[in-house]
Structure 1
Amino acid sequence: MRWRRQLSTKFLATGVLLLVLALVSIGLTMWVTRQLDGGAAAVNEAGRMRMQAWRLASTLLAEQPEPQVAVRVAEFEASLALLRDGDPMRPLFVPWNDTSRQQFATLVAAWEPLQQAWSARSRPDAATLVAQVEAFVPKVDDLVRTIENTMARLTAVLNLFQFVMMALAVAAAVLSIYIGYLFVIHPLQRLRQALQRVEAGDFSTRVAVDAPDEFGELAAGFNHMTQTLQSLYHDLEAQVLAKTRDLEAKRARLATLYEVSTFLVESHTLEELAKGFAQKMRGLSGADAVAVRWSDEATQRYLMLASDCLPEELATEERCLEAGLCACGQPQATARTRVIPIIADDDRLLGNCVKAGYSALISVPIRLQSRILGEIDLFYRQETSLRDEDRALYDALAGHLANAIENLRTEALVREAAVSEERTMLAGELHDSIAQSLAFLKIQINLLRSAVARGDVQAQQPIIDELDAGVRESTNDVRELLVHFRTRTNSDDIEQALRTTLKKFEHQSGLRTHLELHGHGVSLPSDVQLQVLHVVQEALSNVRKHAGASEVTLKVDKGPRWRFEVRDNGQGFAPRAAAASDTHVGLHIMRERAERIGAQVHVASSPGEGTAVLLELAQ
């Protein structure tokens, strides 16, 4: 049975055996010791019987009273009874054997005549009494010697047993050490050495199974563990290699995405964008040729934007394809990334590709949300396949291309809107300033023509002066407009641009200017700075034209709400009258510009006290 081969069973059996031997040795030792103790007490008691016999004889010789003699006799008989029955409490007993029983019977037989003689009324004489006692004492000595001989044999047995037990103890100790080494220490050492080899990376380590015990089971478990670890290690190496290859592939795809995305961001024209993208796609995909086509939703045709390594004849023939009539140019309803095998030269959908020597085509739609903006065609001269990761990469690159194309279109629309807005603003300012001056000059020319026709020399000179002043005013207006539209900000701080604007104003008008800056605030965006400069320039232009001032102060308060105040020391005006007049058109222009950045313009003025124009930005 299996439990009989277990190491615990062997140790339990050995322990039980040693325990039984120990118990038996202890029991025998205690038995022999008790025998020796009882025999020693019996020897003492028998020795007392010699003394009691002589005391009885001396009592008789001394003619002691009868009761005294009876007491001596009773004591002797009590000693005989004690030797015969023993006393387990002391302990006291005779180690009986045939010889000791015979000697005791002889002693009892020798005592009976003495007892009868000493109990009689006619007692023997002294010589007879001494002779009887001397004859009786040797019988006691014989019993004592018999008991002593028995005790000597028991003592020899005890010594022999103790020597045997000592030898057994030594043998048991040696056997225990050997068994411990054989069944415990040696297997543990083998396991420890095996563990050290496993720690060093040797998963092929195995431990020999010598016996079907616990250590055998442990060795079998260790072997199973190392075998599993070896299998897992090899599998792990394969998994690490596979994961490394996968990570490297993903890193390459990410690098490609980053490179293509950077290129798409840096491209400025559609032709540059498409040509560069075609080159990068050919290097990435390993295709023999690449074509990038643009989808014309109105005509349902695909137009060739750019190609790389595509034969010129094929590029010319397929410069404009109708959707669905060729392998290239998938219909928008069924467009998807797929591999198209080219196998038949008589197929009108594939004939041109067969002539060029291509065997397969990968078509990738350029998709922006639900719209199809175009298609990328990858041509191969050998059969090819499309993995899921390649499909995802091509779709991602096509999505980036779609976003780049849409950004170019949006930027073009933004530029067009900006140009249109600038033209509208320029037309408004020309109409509000130079056009009115030209109309005034036309009136003056008509007046001058009439004065010349009348020959009125006195009227001609004032008209000529008015014309000269009007021309100078128009020239100044043109210069202001040129400065106005060339104004740019090149930093996050508007202070330098304001100082430049005031310096130019001083040069053109001859008026003194002052700039006051207060507080601290977050820098304004560039588009907001530009509009603020235009409002300030318009306010300065109004000062030059209408204020009649000698100096101008520009006060700037930085903070959560930026405030710009242009104050002059000129003649001022009545705001209501100015609002009803068509001559102060600058205020209307300033308010339009302020509305573009969510700001407000306020004008404070009174006749003779100058004018203050306040521009307050939203928080």
Structure 2
Amino acid sequence: MKTPWTLARKLLAIGAAVLVLALASIGLTLWVSWQLEGGAAAVNEAGRMRMQTWQLAASLHDTSPEQVQAQFDRFQASLDLLGRGDPSRPLFVPWNDAVHAAFADVLQQWQQLHARWAQGTLPAPAQVRADADAFVRSVDLFVGSIELQLARFTSILHLYQLAMLGLAIAVAVALFYTGHLFVLEPLARLQRGLERVEQADFDARVEVQSRDEFGRLGEGFNRMAQTLQSLYRGLEDKVREKTAKLELQRGRLQALYDVSALLARSDTLEGMAQHFAKQVRRIAGADAAAIRWSDEANQRYLLLAGEGLPAALSEGEHCVPTGECLCGQSAADARTRVIPIVMADQTLGHCAREGFKTLVSVPVRLHHRLLGEVDLFFRGSVTLSDEERSLLDALASHLAGGMEGLRAAALEREGAVAEERSFIARELHDSIAQSLAFLKIQVQLLRAARQRGDEAVVERTLGELDTGVRECMGDVRELLVHFRTRTNAEHIEPALRTTLQKFEHQTGLKSHLELEGHALPLDPDAQVQVLHVVQEALSNVRKHARASQVWVEVAADSAGWRFEVRDDGQGFDPDADRAETHVGLRIMRERAARIGAQVRVDAVPGAGSCVTLTVPPSAAASAVSTAPAAGTPPAAQAPSAAA
């Protein structure tokens, strides 16, 4: 198979031919110039021979034989130099037949002249001059033959220069022509083709006239034009197809959005299921839809809602045990299925009797837990594409999320109720329970005083009981109004003093309050919790410590607040099982946790106990503009933040 000439090979061949011609011309020019330079040096050396001849003739009779012999040697050296040449100068004779004959004549006459002039008897001066003149004429003939040869070389050099000029012109013309033939013309054809394509003329084709790079480029252009032509012709169909797909995707997204909005508005499971059944029936184009809920053990399916279901089907399949009907899938095998309804299939008897021919079952899953099933009924044959399956699965997943949201909301409400009950229990423990415990003690004291007949103690105790009952009634009224301890718009110091005065009045124990440092006032909610913790600690001292004195120390700085309640009582073992104390301690820690504080209890049997409450700076009043100026003592700080 013949290899096509590529553009690179063509350009390489042309360049190689031009290079060979240029190198040959340059080589011939250099050779001729070399010959001319060597011949000129030979002419100069031959001219020296004439001068040496006359010098030798003039000094033959007047100089010593040694000097004459030296001149003979120099002349012989010149002849030898002309005969062999000297490339280093350069010097060489441009030999041809005439030059060889002239040089041979010069050698012959020199030998004769040397024989006559070197003999013992020298010729007469006139004879010497005649011999020298004859020899110089032969040298002149030799020089003339060399000059004639150099003239021929000069003519050849001129001819080469003219040839190089013609060659340069021919090469330039050849390069222009080949450039036009192999490069410019193919590029022009491609340019014309591109202009036609730019004008939407996709029928444009480029004529391929060679198999080189431009030929392959033209073939590629033709293939591109053909592809563009086919794409352009089918563009409208593809646009319509893409538009239909986008419209389908928009419809699916709209369906998902509508279902999500519907589920978000539903507040009951039944209502959510009924609305979802309507939507999914419309989206799937089904004749009927049913939403079934599965119990935790996946033993049965309960019909939550139906849309378009016949009454007989709703009543007959209100509760379907798992596995007895094809629409009640087990958790292990649950998947989206298309089930043909056959009259002979007893498991789908209700569906067949109502005229349905196809059932689509979609499981409702949440984190691998089966919550229920969506059943779609069709009166004709149905097949689902991958997109339709994905849409139904997404809708079922949204339904599962909505059901889980309702369950989470119910759990949240239940937790809120439990938290509220716990809060009421703490309030009862910290207010009414303590008051009732005090009244119980006073009743015991009243009974003992009556048995002793001590009327003064009886009267004083009755007064204490009357005061305690009024305080208990006040606590009850306060709980009924807002379940909070009264702060009376006070700062923490007056609130603590009021609490300790009440404690001293109820127990008769001596109390001490010490305050140190400065900090922002506590937030009202934090102050309430702090007072409750302090009251609980004092209540434990009253009930269990058997102390004689109580110290309440308050320290405030940039790190927050620290409250310590110490007593000199009998102390206790923190590891011992004291149910009532543990309940109080748990309540104190719960209250502290509400404001981000911490409670620590230190106790040594026989050496008293200490309850420490550490409140972080975040529990201070959030409104900085209401905070007192730096350096103001706690007792004098503005109470507006605690109000």
For 1:77-116, list aligned pairs within 5 A: 82=79, 86=83, 88-89=85-86, 91=91, 97=97, 101=101
Residues 466 and 535 of structure 1, relative CA distance in 2, 3 Å threshold:
same
2:627 matched residue in structure 1: none
For 1:3-14, list aligned pairs within 5 A: 6=9, 7-8=11-12, 11-12=15-16, 14=18
Identity %, equivalent residues: 20
Residues 39 and 613 of structure 1, relative CA distance in 2, 3 Å threshold:
closer
Q: Secondary structure at the match of 1:385?
A: coil
Q: Which amino acid counterpart does residue 22 of structure 2 have in structure 1? A: L
Q: Of the two structures, which has the highest relative contact order with CA contacts closer than 8 Å and spacing of 6 or more?
A: 2
Which of 171, 181, 187 is matched with 2:167 structurally? 171
Q: Secondary structure at the match of 1:336?
A: coil
Q: Deviations over 1:474-498 (max 9, x none)?
A: 4542431342476579xxxxx9998
In 2, Cα distance between equivalents of 1:25 and 1:378? 102
Deviation at residue 149 of structure 1 after TM alignment: 6.1
1:38 and 2:42 aligned: yes
In 2, Cα distance between equivalents of 1:524 and 1:275? 49
In 2, Cα distance between equivalents of 1:122 and 1:564? 153
Contact 1:43 1:148 in 2 (8 A): no
Which of 155, 162, 175 is matched with 1:159 structurally? 155
2:19 matched residue in structure 1: 15
TM-score (norm: length of structure 1): 0.55
* Pairwise CA RMSD: 7.7
Which of 21, 24, 31 is matched with 1:27 structurally? 31
Q: Deviations over 1:57-116 (max 9, x none)?
A: x99xxxx79999xx89x979x79x959984635957595535984998699799989x99
Contact 2:514 2:554 in 1 (8 A): yes
In 1, Cα distance between equivalents of 2:42 and 2:352? 127
Residues 356 and 416 of structure 1, relative CA distance in 2, 3 Å threshold:
farther
In 2, Cα distance between equivalents of 1:289 and 1:519? 74
Residues 94 and 405 of structure 1, relative CA distance in 2, 3 Å threshold:
closer
Contact 2:190 2:218 in 1 (8 A): no
Q: Which amino acid counterpart does residue 348 of structure 2 have in structure 1? A: L
In 1, Cα distance between equivalents of 2:524 and 2:376? 45
In 2, Cα distance between equivalents of 1:463 and 1:107? 178
Q: Secondary structure at the match of 1:334?
A: coil
Deviation at residue 599 of structure 1 after TM alignment: 3.8
Q: Secondary structure at the match of 2:348?
A: coil
Deviation at residue 349 of structure 1 after TM alignment: 1.9
Q: Which amino acid counterpart does residue 20 of structure 1 have in structure 2? A: A
Residues 112 and 594 of structure 1, relative CA distance in 2, 3 Å threshold:
closer
Unaligned runs of 5+ in 1: 445-461, 490-494, 544-551, 577-584, 604-611
Deviation at residue 558 of structure 1 after TM alignment: 7.9
TM-score (norm: length of structure 2): 0.54
1:393 matched residue in structure 2: 394
Q: Which amino acid counterpart does residue 334 of structure 2 have in structure 1? A: A
Q: Deviations over 1:202-253 (max 9, x none)?
A: 9x9999998777x6799699989999x99xx99xxx9xx99xx99x979987
Which of 373, 376, 383 is matched with 2:374 structurally? 376
Q: Deviations over 1:125-175 (max 9, x none)?
A: 99xx89x959x9689758846852662353144134234235415634762
Q: Secondary structure at the match of 2:328?
A: coil
In 2, Cα distance between equivalents of 1:499 and 1:257? 58
1:304 matched residue in structure 2: 303
For 1:62-461, list aligned pairs within 5 A: 82=79, 86=83, 88-89=85-86, 91=91, 97=97, 101=101, 144=140, 148=144, 151-152=147-148, 154-168=150-164, 171-172=167-168, 175=171, 179=175, 182=178, 260=260, 269-271=268-270, 273-275=272-274, 290-296=289-295, 300-307=299-306, 309-311=307-309, 313=311, 316-317=314-315, 320-323=318-321, 324-342=323-341, 344=343, 349=348, 351-352=350-351, 355=354, 359-367=358-366, 369=368, 372-379=370-377, 383-385=382-384, 387=386, 389-390=390-391, 393-394=394-395, 396-397=397-398, 399-401=400-402, 403-408=404-409, 410-411=411-412, 414=415, 417-418=418-419
In 2, Cα distance between equivalents of 1:146 and 1:357? 132
Contact 1:39 1:94 in 2 (8 A): no
Contact 2:363 2:374 in 1 (8 A): yes
Unaligned runs of 5+ in 2: 233-237, 447-456, 506-512, 542-550, 572-578, 604-608, 617-643
Q: Secondary structure at the match of 1:362?
A: strand
Which of 599, 613, 616 is matched with 2:613 structurally? 616
Residues 255 and 533 of structure 1, relative CA distance in 2, 3 Å threshold:
farther
Q: Which amino acid counterpart does residue 331 of structure 1 have in structure 2? A: S
